[in-house]
Amino acid sequence: MAIDTERVQTIEEIEPFEAAEEIEGGDVVLIDTREPHEYQEAHLDGGKLVPPGVLADEIGTAAPDKSARTIVYCRSGNRSAIATAQLQQLGYENVASMSGGILQWQEQGLPVVSPSGMTPEQRERYSRHTLLPEVGVDGQVKLLNAKVLLLGAGGLGAPTALYLAAAGVGTIGLVDDDVVDASNLQRQVIHNTERIGMAKTASARIFIEGLNPDVKVVEHNGRLDASNILEVISDYDIIVDGADNFPTRYLLNDASVRLRKPVVSASILGFDGQISTFVPYEGPCYRCLYPTPPPAELAPSCSANGVLGVMAGTMGTLQANEVIKIVLGKGEPLVGRLLLYEALGTSFTELKVRRDPDCPICGEHAEEIPESEMGQFPDYDQFCAGAGGDR
Protein backbone atom coordinates (compact mmCIF):
# COMPACT_ATOMS: atom_id res chain seq x y z
CA MET A 1 0.00 0.00 0.00
CA ALA A 2 1.35 3.41 -0.93
CA ILE A 3 1.70 5.66 2.04
CA ASP A 4 1.45 9.40 1.84
CA THR A 5 4.81 10.40 3.30
CA GLU A 6 3.56 13.89 4.08
CA ARG A 7 1.04 12.43 6.46
CA VAL A 8 3.45 9.89 7.95
CA GLN A 9 5.52 12.81 9.08
CA THR A 10 2.56 14.53 10.61
CA ILE A 11 0.97 11.75 12.64
CA GLU A 12 0.38 12.34 16.30
CA GLU A 13 2.49 10.26 18.66
CA ILE A 14 1.82 10.04 22.36
CA GLU A 15 3.76 8.51 25.23
CA PRO A 16 2.38 5.47 27.06
CA PHE A 17 1.62 7.48 30.19
CA GLU A 18 -0.38 9.96 28.10
CA ALA A 19 -2.25 7.10 26.47
CA ALA A 20 -2.94 5.60 29.90
CA GLU A 21 -4.46 8.89 31.10
CA GLU A 22 -6.66 9.15 28.03
CA ILE A 23 -7.77 5.53 28.30
CA GLU A 24 -8.64 6.02 31.95
CA GLY A 25 -10.67 9.08 31.02
CA GLY A 26 -12.79 6.93 28.72
CA ASP A 27 -14.20 7.48 25.23
CA VAL A 28 -11.08 6.12 23.54
CA VAL A 29 -11.02 3.44 20.86
CA LEU A 30 -7.87 1.40 21.44
CA ILE A 31 -6.47 -0.55 18.48
CA ASP A 32 -3.79 -3.24 18.80
CA THR A 33 -2.09 -3.60 15.42
CA ARG A 34 -0.01 -6.72 15.97
CA GLU A 35 -0.43 -10.37 15.06
CA PRO A 36 -2.88 -12.64 16.91
CA HIS A 37 -0.23 -14.63 18.77
CA GLU A 38 1.31 -11.43 20.11
CA TYR A 39 -2.09 -10.20 21.19
CA GLN A 40 -2.83 -13.47 22.96
CA GLU A 41 0.31 -13.31 25.02
CA ALA A 42 -0.45 -9.90 26.43
CA HIS A 43 -2.43 -6.83 25.41
CA LEU A 44 -3.78 -3.60 26.82
CA ASP A 45 -7.13 -3.85 28.56
CA GLY A 46 -9.78 -2.87 26.01
CA GLY A 47 -7.38 -3.15 23.06
CA LYS A 48 -9.05 -4.42 19.91
CA LEU A 49 -6.92 -6.61 17.67
CA VAL A 50 -6.60 -5.44 14.06
CA PRO A 51 -3.48 -7.02 12.49
CA PRO A 52 -1.58 -4.84 10.00
CA GLY A 53 -2.38 -7.05 7.02
CA VAL A 54 -6.13 -6.63 7.42
CA LEU A 55 -6.23 -3.08 8.73
CA ALA A 56 -8.17 -1.58 5.84
CA ASP A 57 -10.71 -4.41 5.87
CA GLU A 58 -11.33 -4.73 9.59
CA ILE A 59 -10.87 -1.27 11.05
CA GLY A 60 -14.45 -0.36 10.19
CA THR A 61 -15.73 -3.04 12.54
CA ALA A 62 -13.32 -2.29 15.36
CA ALA A 63 -13.60 1.50 15.07
CA PRO A 64 -16.81 2.45 13.24
CA ASP A 65 -16.74 6.12 14.30
CA LYS A 66 -14.07 8.00 12.34
CA SER A 67 -14.42 11.06 14.53
CA ALA A 68 -13.83 9.22 17.80
CA ARG A 69 -10.51 9.50 19.59
CA THR A 70 -8.51 6.49 18.43
CA ILE A 71 -5.17 5.30 19.86
CA VAL A 72 -3.12 2.69 18.01
CA TYR A 73 -0.36 0.62 19.58
CA CYS A 74 1.87 -2.27 18.56
CA ARG A 75 4.95 -3.92 20.04
CA SER A 76 7.44 -1.06 19.81
CA GLY A 77 5.73 1.75 17.92
CA ASN A 78 6.66 1.15 14.28
CA ARG A 79 3.62 -0.72 13.04
CA SER A 80 1.30 1.60 14.94
CA ALA A 81 2.89 4.66 13.27
CA ILE A 82 2.25 3.17 9.83
CA ALA A 83 -1.27 2.15 10.82
CA THR A 84 -1.98 5.63 12.16
CA ALA A 85 -0.98 7.12 8.81
CA GLN A 86 -3.22 4.64 7.02
CA LEU A 87 -6.14 5.47 9.28
CA GLN A 88 -5.69 9.16 8.55
CA GLN A 89 -5.84 8.36 4.84
CA LEU A 90 -9.00 6.36 5.50
CA GLY A 91 -10.53 9.46 7.07
CA TYR A 92 -9.97 8.95 10.77
CA GLU A 93 -9.80 12.44 12.22
CA ASN A 94 -8.40 12.03 15.68
CA VAL A 95 -5.94 9.15 15.73
CA ALA A 96 -2.64 8.81 17.56
CA SER A 97 0.14 6.24 17.70
CA MET A 98 1.49 5.19 21.08
CA SER A 99 5.28 5.48 20.86
CA GLY A 100 7.37 2.66 22.26
CA GLY A 101 4.44 0.25 22.02
CA ILE A 102 3.42 -2.29 24.61
CA LEU A 103 7.10 -2.86 25.47
CA GLN A 104 7.53 0.66 26.78
CA TRP A 105 4.07 0.51 28.33
CA GLN A 106 5.14 -2.52 30.35
CA GLU A 107 8.54 -1.02 31.16
CA GLN A 108 6.70 1.83 32.83
CA GLY A 109 4.85 -0.65 35.00
CA LEU A 110 1.50 -0.15 33.32
CA PRO A 111 -0.87 -3.15 33.42
CA VAL A 112 -1.54 -5.59 30.59
CA VAL A 113 -4.04 -8.39 30.18
CA SER A 114 -2.51 -11.89 29.93
CA PRO A 115 -5.47 -14.07 29.06
CA SER A 116 -3.51 -17.23 29.57
CA GLY A 117 -2.65 -17.01 33.17
CA MET A 118 0.67 -18.49 32.10
CA THR A 119 3.66 -17.48 34.15
CA PRO A 120 6.54 -15.60 32.51
CA GLU A 121 8.56 -18.84 32.71
CA GLN A 122 5.82 -20.72 30.88
CA ARG A 123 5.55 -18.04 28.22
CA GLU A 124 9.26 -18.46 27.60
CA ARG A 125 9.25 -22.27 27.75
CA TYR A 126 6.33 -22.69 25.36
CA SER A 127 7.05 -19.74 23.07
CA ARG A 128 7.70 -22.00 20.05
CA HIS A 129 4.26 -23.50 20.60
CA THR A 130 2.41 -20.26 21.15
CA LEU A 131 3.93 -18.84 17.95
CA LEU A 132 1.97 -21.46 16.01
CA PRO A 133 -1.52 -20.24 15.14
CA GLU A 134 -2.78 -23.82 15.64
CA VAL A 135 -1.57 -23.80 19.23
CA GLY A 136 -1.35 -20.23 20.48
CA VAL A 137 -1.74 -19.37 24.14
CA ASP A 138 -5.20 -20.92 24.30
CA GLY A 139 -3.90 -24.22 22.96
CA GLN A 140 -0.96 -24.21 25.34
CA VAL A 141 -3.31 -23.66 28.24
CA LYS A 142 -5.35 -26.64 27.02
CA LEU A 143 -2.18 -28.74 27.03
CA LEU A 144 -1.31 -27.55 30.54
CA ASN A 145 -4.76 -28.61 31.70
CA ALA A 146 -4.78 -31.94 29.85
CA LYS A 147 -4.62 -35.30 31.62
CA VAL A 148 -3.15 -38.14 29.61
CA LEU A 149 -2.72 -41.74 30.73
CA LEU A 150 0.05 -43.84 29.23
CA LEU A 151 -0.41 -47.60 29.31
CA GLY A 152 3.13 -48.81 29.53
CA ALA A 153 6.23 -46.81 30.41
CA GLY A 154 8.31 -48.85 28.00
CA GLY A 155 9.13 -48.77 24.31
CA LEU A 156 6.21 -46.72 23.06
CA GLY A 157 5.47 -45.03 26.37
CA ALA A 158 8.97 -43.63 26.77
CA PRO A 159 9.10 -41.31 23.73
CA THR A 160 5.40 -40.48 24.06
CA ALA A 161 5.95 -39.42 27.66
CA LEU A 162 9.05 -37.39 26.79
CA TYR A 163 7.33 -35.32 24.13
CA LEU A 164 4.07 -34.92 26.02
CA ALA A 165 6.04 -33.76 29.05
CA ALA A 166 8.09 -31.35 26.97
CA ALA A 167 4.89 -30.07 25.38
CA GLY A 168 3.55 -29.19 28.81
CA VAL A 169 0.78 -31.77 29.15
CA GLY A 170 -0.12 -30.95 32.73
CA THR A 171 -0.87 -34.42 34.08
CA ILE A 172 0.76 -37.60 32.81
CA GLY A 173 -0.32 -40.91 34.34
CA LEU A 174 1.93 -43.92 33.88
CA VAL A 175 0.74 -47.52 34.21
CA ASP A 176 3.47 -50.12 34.43
CA ASP A 177 4.35 -52.86 36.91
CA ASP A 178 7.76 -53.60 35.50
CA VAL A 179 11.27 -52.55 36.53
CA VAL A 180 13.96 -51.17 34.25
CA ASP A 181 16.04 -53.90 32.66
CA ALA A 182 19.28 -53.49 30.75
CA SER A 183 17.61 -54.93 27.63
CA ASN A 184 15.06 -52.08 27.71
CA LEU A 185 17.60 -49.32 27.20
CA GLN A 186 18.09 -49.92 23.47
CA ARG A 187 14.72 -48.18 22.93
CA GLN A 188 13.17 -47.04 26.22
CA VAL A 189 14.95 -43.72 26.27
CA ILE A 190 13.17 -42.35 29.34
CA HIS A 191 15.16 -44.76 31.52
CA ASN A 192 18.93 -44.97 31.93
CA THR A 193 21.71 -47.23 33.02
CA GLU A 194 21.81 -45.96 36.59
CA ARG A 195 18.14 -46.75 37.07
CA ILE A 196 18.27 -50.44 36.11
CA GLY A 197 16.18 -52.30 38.67
CA MET A 198 14.04 -49.27 39.53
CA ALA A 199 10.28 -49.32 38.91
CA LYS A 200 9.66 -47.96 35.41
CA THR A 201 7.04 -45.52 36.66
CA ALA A 202 9.52 -44.11 39.20
CA SER A 203 12.31 -43.95 36.64
CA ALA A 204 10.10 -42.16 34.15
CA ARG A 205 8.98 -39.73 36.82
CA ILE A 206 12.59 -38.71 37.49
CA PHE A 207 13.17 -37.93 33.82
CA ILE A 208 9.88 -36.08 33.33
CA GLU A 209 10.26 -33.95 36.44
CA GLY A 210 13.76 -33.02 35.37
CA LEU A 211 12.50 -32.04 31.93
CA ASN A 212 9.48 -30.00 32.90
CA PRO A 213 8.37 -28.94 36.38
CA ASP A 214 4.92 -28.05 35.02
CA VAL A 215 4.04 -31.73 34.64
CA LYS A 216 2.37 -33.65 37.43
CA VAL A 217 3.30 -37.33 37.16
CA VAL A 218 0.89 -39.92 38.57
CA GLU A 219 2.34 -43.40 39.01
CA HIS A 220 0.10 -46.42 38.68
CA ASN A 221 2.63 -49.07 39.56
CA GLY A 222 0.59 -52.15 38.70
CA ARG A 223 -1.43 -53.69 35.90
CA LEU A 224 -4.82 -52.67 34.70
CA ASP A 225 -7.47 -55.30 35.19
CA ALA A 226 -11.23 -55.43 35.19
CA SER A 227 -11.38 -54.47 38.86
CA ASN A 228 -9.50 -51.20 38.55
CA ILE A 229 -9.61 -50.00 34.94
CA LEU A 230 -12.68 -47.77 35.14
CA GLU A 231 -11.42 -46.06 38.27
CA VAL A 232 -7.97 -45.46 36.77
CA ILE A 233 -8.96 -44.21 33.33
CA SER A 234 -11.91 -42.09 34.46
CA ASP A 235 -9.50 -39.43 35.75
CA TYR A 236 -7.96 -38.89 32.30
CA ASP A 237 -8.95 -37.16 29.06
CA ILE A 238 -7.03 -39.38 26.65
CA ILE A 239 -5.47 -42.84 26.94
CA VAL A 240 -2.33 -43.86 25.06
CA ASP A 241 -2.20 -47.60 24.52
CA GLY A 242 1.25 -49.08 24.23
CA ALA A 243 0.25 -52.28 26.02
CA ASP A 244 2.25 -55.41 25.42
CA ASN A 245 -0.57 -57.95 25.52
CA PHE A 246 -3.97 -58.55 23.99
CA PRO A 247 -6.05 -58.99 27.18
CA THR A 248 -5.11 -55.46 28.26
CA ARG A 249 -5.79 -54.03 24.79
CA TYR A 250 -9.29 -55.51 24.65
CA LEU A 251 -10.03 -54.57 28.25
CA LEU A 252 -8.89 -51.00 27.62
CA ASN A 253 -10.98 -50.79 24.48
CA ASP A 254 -14.15 -52.00 26.14
CA ALA A 255 -13.68 -49.73 29.18
CA SER A 256 -12.78 -46.67 27.11
CA VAL A 257 -15.84 -47.09 24.88
CA ARG A 258 -18.01 -47.25 28.00
CA LEU A 259 -16.48 -44.04 29.33
CA ARG A 260 -16.15 -42.48 25.85
CA LYS A 261 -12.43 -41.83 26.22
CA PRO A 262 -10.29 -41.48 23.09
CA VAL A 263 -7.49 -44.03 22.80
CA VAL A 264 -4.35 -43.57 20.74
CA SER A 265 -3.12 -47.07 20.02
CA ALA A 266 0.16 -48.17 18.50
CA SER A 267 2.23 -51.32 18.32
CA ILE A 268 5.67 -52.20 17.06
CA LEU A 269 7.51 -55.34 16.06
CA GLY A 270 10.73 -55.75 14.17
CA PHE A 271 10.81 -52.97 11.58
CA ASP A 272 7.03 -52.57 11.47
CA GLY A 273 4.68 -50.33 13.35
CA GLN A 274 1.01 -49.49 13.25
CA ILE A 275 -1.03 -46.72 14.82
CA SER A 276 -4.64 -45.59 14.92
CA THR A 277 -6.79 -43.36 17.07
CA PHE A 278 -10.05 -44.72 18.44
CA VAL A 279 -12.64 -42.11 19.39
CA PRO A 280 -15.73 -43.94 20.67
CA TYR A 281 -18.78 -43.57 18.43
CA GLU A 282 -17.00 -41.08 16.13
CA GLY A 283 -14.99 -43.84 14.53
CA PRO A 284 -14.35 -47.55 14.89
CA CYS A 285 -13.08 -49.11 18.10
CA TYR A 286 -10.25 -51.61 18.48
CA ARG A 287 -12.70 -54.49 18.22
CA CYS A 288 -14.10 -53.16 14.94
CA LEU A 289 -10.55 -53.42 13.61
CA TYR A 290 -9.57 -56.66 15.33
CA PRO A 291 -12.67 -58.60 16.45
CA THR A 292 -10.62 -61.45 17.83
CA PRO A 293 -6.99 -61.75 18.89
CA PRO A 294 -4.64 -63.82 16.76
CA PRO A 295 -3.21 -67.13 17.93
CA ALA A 296 0.18 -67.08 19.55
CA GLU A 297 2.12 -68.05 16.44
CA LEU A 298 0.76 -64.99 14.65
CA ALA A 299 1.51 -62.67 17.53
CA PRO A 300 5.12 -62.96 18.54
CA SER A 301 6.48 -60.50 21.03
CA CYS A 302 9.28 -57.99 20.86
CA SER A 303 11.17 -59.98 23.47
CA ALA A 304 10.97 -63.09 21.30
CA ASN A 305 11.35 -61.49 17.87
CA GLY A 306 13.20 -58.27 18.44
CA VAL A 307 12.38 -54.72 17.53
CA LEU A 308 14.47 -51.94 16.08
CA GLY A 309 14.85 -49.45 18.91
CA VAL A 310 14.10 -46.40 16.83
CA MET A 311 10.71 -47.90 15.91
CA ALA A 312 9.60 -47.10 19.44
CA GLY A 313 10.63 -43.49 18.88
CA THR A 314 8.93 -43.19 15.51
CA MET A 315 5.63 -44.71 16.58
CA GLY A 316 5.74 -43.24 20.09
CA THR A 317 6.18 -39.71 18.79
CA LEU A 318 3.37 -40.27 16.30
CA GLN A 319 1.24 -41.19 19.31
CA ALA A 320 2.28 -37.98 21.06
CA ASN A 321 1.31 -36.04 17.94
CA GLU A 322 -2.15 -37.63 17.95
CA VAL A 323 -2.63 -36.77 21.63
CA ILE A 324 -1.65 -33.15 21.10
CA LYS A 325 -4.01 -32.76 18.13
CA ILE A 326 -6.90 -34.18 20.14
CA VAL A 327 -6.16 -31.85 23.07
CA LEU A 328 -5.94 -28.84 20.75
CA GLY A 329 -8.92 -29.88 18.66
CA LYS A 330 -6.82 -29.21 15.55
CA GLY A 331 -5.93 -31.24 12.49
CA GLU A 332 -7.12 -34.68 11.52
CA PRO A 333 -6.42 -37.44 14.04
CA LEU A 334 -6.12 -41.00 12.75
CA VAL A 335 -9.78 -41.74 13.42
CA GLY A 336 -10.98 -44.47 11.07
CA ARG A 337 -7.48 -44.75 9.64
CA LEU A 338 -4.72 -47.23 10.37
CA LEU A 339 -1.24 -46.04 9.54
CA LEU A 340 1.38 -48.68 8.87
CA TYR A 341 5.06 -47.83 8.91
CA GLU A 342 7.71 -50.13 7.50
CA ALA A 343 11.15 -48.90 8.44
CA LEU A 344 13.37 -50.96 6.13
CA GLY A 345 11.69 -49.52 3.06
CA THR A 346 10.77 -46.27 4.83
CA SER A 347 7.21 -46.60 3.61
CA PHE A 348 3.93 -45.48 5.09
CA THR A 349 0.63 -47.13 4.17
CA GLU A 350 -2.75 -45.86 5.23
CA LEU A 351 -5.74 -48.19 5.49
CA LYS A 352 -9.38 -47.33 6.09
CA VAL A 353 -10.98 -48.73 9.21
CA ARG A 354 -14.77 -48.76 9.32
CA ARG A 355 -17.08 -48.96 12.27
CA ASP A 356 -18.50 -52.45 12.39
CA PRO A 357 -22.30 -52.23 12.71
CA ASP A 358 -22.18 -55.62 14.39
CA CYS A 359 -19.40 -54.69 16.83
CA PRO A 360 -20.35 -56.16 20.22
CA ILE A 361 -18.98 -53.08 21.98
CA CYS A 362 -19.78 -50.01 19.90
CA GLY A 363 -22.03 -51.40 17.13
CA GLU A 364 -25.67 -50.58 16.48
CA HIS A 365 -26.84 -53.59 18.42
CA ALA A 366 -24.46 -53.23 21.33
CA GLU A 367 -26.56 -53.18 24.44
CA GLU A 368 -26.71 -50.22 26.74
CA ILE A 369 -24.80 -51.18 29.86
CA PRO A 370 -26.63 -50.56 33.14
CA GLU A 371 -24.75 -48.70 35.84
CA SER A 372 -24.59 -51.79 38.04
CA GLU A 373 -22.72 -53.70 35.36
CA MET A 374 -20.48 -50.83 34.28
CA GLY A 375 -17.41 -52.28 35.99
CA GLN A 376 -18.03 -55.86 34.91
CA PHE A 377 -16.02 -57.16 32.02
CA PRO A 378 -15.61 -60.54 30.39
CA ASP A 379 -12.63 -62.67 31.27
CA TYR A 380 -10.13 -61.32 28.80
CA ASP A 381 -7.48 -63.84 29.68
CA GLN A 382 -9.96 -66.53 28.71
CA PHE A 383 -11.03 -64.59 25.60
CA CYS A 384 -7.41 -64.24 24.56
CA ALA A 385 -6.36 -67.73 25.65
CA GLY A 386 -3.90 -69.06 23.15
CA ALA A 387 -3.33 -65.58 21.78
CA GLY A 388 0.08 -64.05 21.58
CA GLY A 389 1.62 -61.16 23.40
CA ASP A 390 4.29 -61.77 25.96
CA ARG A 391 2.16 -61.78 29.01
Partner 1 sequence: MATVRIPPVLRPKTGGQAEVEAGGADVGEVLRSLTGDYPNTQEQLFGEDGELNRYVNVYLNDEDVRVLQGLDTAVKDGDTVVILPAMAGGASRLAN
Q: Which residues have a catalytic role annotated?
A: 302
Q: Which is nearer to partner 1, 137 or 189 (CB)?
A: 189
In whole angstroms, the minimum distance from the beta carbon of 350 to partner 1 comes to 6
What whole-number distance in Å separates Cα of residue 326 and Cα of residue 169? 12
DSSP state of 269: E
Quick one: angle between helices 78-89 and 55-62, nearest 10?
A: 80
What whole-number distance in Å separates Cα of residue 91 and Cα of residue 32? 19
Residue type, 246: F
Q: Which is nearer to partner 1, 121 or 177 (CB)?
A: 177
Please, what is the end-to-end C-alpha distance for the chain in angstroms? Answer: 68
Q: Which is nearer to partner 1, 228 or 301 (CB)?
A: 301
Question: Parallel, antiparallel, or unpaired for β 238-241 and 216-220?
Answer: unpaired
In whole angstroms, the minimum distance from the beta carbon of 243 to partner 1 comes to 6
In whole angstroms, the minimum distance from the beta carbon of 219 to partner 1 comes to 15
Among 19, 74, 353, 359, which residue sits at the site for partner 1 (rule: CB under 8 A)?
Answer: 353
Q: How many residues does the chain have?
A: 391
Among 349, 376, 379, 385, which residue sits at the site for partner 1 (rule: CB under 8 A)?
Answer: 349
What whole-number distance in Å separates Cα of residue 229 and Cα of residue 149? 12
What whole-number distance in Å separates Cα of residue 263 and Cα of residue 261? 6
In whole angstroms, the minimum distance from the beta carbon of 272 to partner 1 comes to 5
Report 201-260 residues binding partner 1 (CB under 8 A).
241-246, 249
Report 257-296 residues binding partner 1 (CB under 8 A).
266-272, 274, 289-295
Q: Is 189 in the site for partner 1 (CB under 8 A)?
A: no
Q: Is 336 in the site for partner 1 (CB under 8 A)?
A: no
DSSP state of 237: S
Report 122-151 residues binding partner 1 (CB under 8 A).
151
In our burial notation (b when 16+ CB lie closer than 10 A, e otherwise), range 222-245 reads ebbebeebbebbeebbbbbbbbbb
In whole angstroms, the minimum distance from the beta carbon of 252 to partner 1 comes to 11
What whole-number distance in Å separates Cα of residue 257 and Cα of residue 353? 16
Among 47, 136, 157, 283, which residue sits at the site for partner 1 (rule: CB under 8 A)?
Answer: 157
Q: Which is nearer to partner 1, 133 or 295 (CB)?
A: 295
Write out the residues near partner 1 by the rule CB under 8 A: 151-157, 176, 178, 181, 183-184, 241-246, 249, 266-272, 274, 289-295, 297-305, 307, 338, 340, 342, 344-345, 349-354, 388-391
